Amino acid sequence: MSDHPLKDDVSGTDTTGHEWDGIRELNTPLPKWWLYTFYACIAWAAVYWVVMPAWPYFWDGAWRHTTGAVGYTQRDSVSGELQAIAEGRAGTVQQIAATPIEEIVKNDSLMEVALASGKAAFGDNCAPCHGSGAQGSKGFPNLNDDDWLWGGTLADIQTTVTHGIRWDGDDDTRQNMMPRFLDDAMLKSAEIDDAAEYVLSLSGHSADGASGLRGAEVFAKNCVACHGADAKGNRSLGAPDLTDAIWLYGGDKKAIVETVSHGRGGVMPAWGGRLQPGTIKELALYVHSLGGGK
């Protein structure tokens, strides 16, 4: 530390007066704008701690935090947003409830909401019987195919879902039932055997032509009223097409004999009293969209 020049010759900057081995320390303070911004941040933080929730602390066995003078919480703003979403959706839900089902189909934005809600409602209410993919199982029809017991138009499906099938609690439920031909002594066992053989022949599965021929007569006398002379079924009576090799209760001879002997009488609940009309429309649109809708 020999001489103490106040200014550095090269940079023209003040020095601190410190020097080591000929290297002088320059005095370069922070720019004023930076310093004031820094002070402003500190002041801002202090105000923020007072006004907004800020400090966590542990008290009385639980973590808490200072709530701040204005008592702001994000929970309030989230629930506000959720309410806004619910209100926005309520508009669409009301619109679906108020719009005839044939009109909803023509409205893309309503359809989008209706199909999504219908799918969710199907999972909640229908999947236990019809399967999560609506694929059905023995006694519970597949709703994906275009083979319908009671009809596959939007109106048909809406009626089925609203009033159910053979559902005691609904006066407008779809009635009609396959008779119990053996139990009620309408046919003898051998006649039922022949009729079953004839039914099998309709989808090319008969193993006994003579029996099938006798069965054709039994069929003409006892079965055509519901299943039709061509055995293609009747949707207003819920009588299945017997020629298409799609079976609700099984298409082997044993299953057919069982159906004809004892009847079946599958039951589908009525949803009219349990679900909102709008939800039933959404369900009908969803089922209709599964691929088999007419």
Q: How far is the CB of 158 from ligand HEC (least distance, A)?
A: 9
Q: Name the residue nearer to ligand HEC (CB basis): 15 or 162.
A: 162
* C-alpha–C-alpha distance, residues 261 and 199, integer Å: 14
Structure-derived torsion over alpha carbons of residues 64, 69, 75, 76, reported in degrees to the nearest 10: 150
State which residue, 110 or 199, has the beta carbon closest to ligand HEC: 199
Rounded distance, CA 144 to CA 293, Å?
A: 8
Give CA–CA dist 27/18, Å, rounded.
10
User: Which amino acid, one-letter code, is at 155?
Assistant: A
Nearer to ligand HEC, 68 or 243 (CB): 243
Nearer to ligand HEC, 52 or 226 (CB): 226
Sequence-distant contacts of 254-258: CB under 8 A, at least 24 apart: 256/196, 256/199, 256/200, 257/192, 257/193, 257/196
Closest distance between ligand HEC and the C-beta of residue 210, in Å? 17
- Count of Cβ atoms closer than 10 Å to residue 16 Cβ: 12
Tell me which residues touch ligand HEC (CB under 6 A).
125-126, 128-130, 139-141, 143, 148-151, 157, 160-161, 165, 176-179, 181, 195, 199, 219, 222-223, 225-227, 237-240, 242, 247-249, 256, 259-260, 264-269, 271, 283, 287
The span from the CA of 75 to the CA of 30, in Å, is 42
Our CB check for ligand HEC shows the closer of 53 and 179 to be 179
Nearer to ligand HEC, 68 or 205 (CB): 205
- Its sign, for the CA torsion 54, 58, 61, 66, is negative
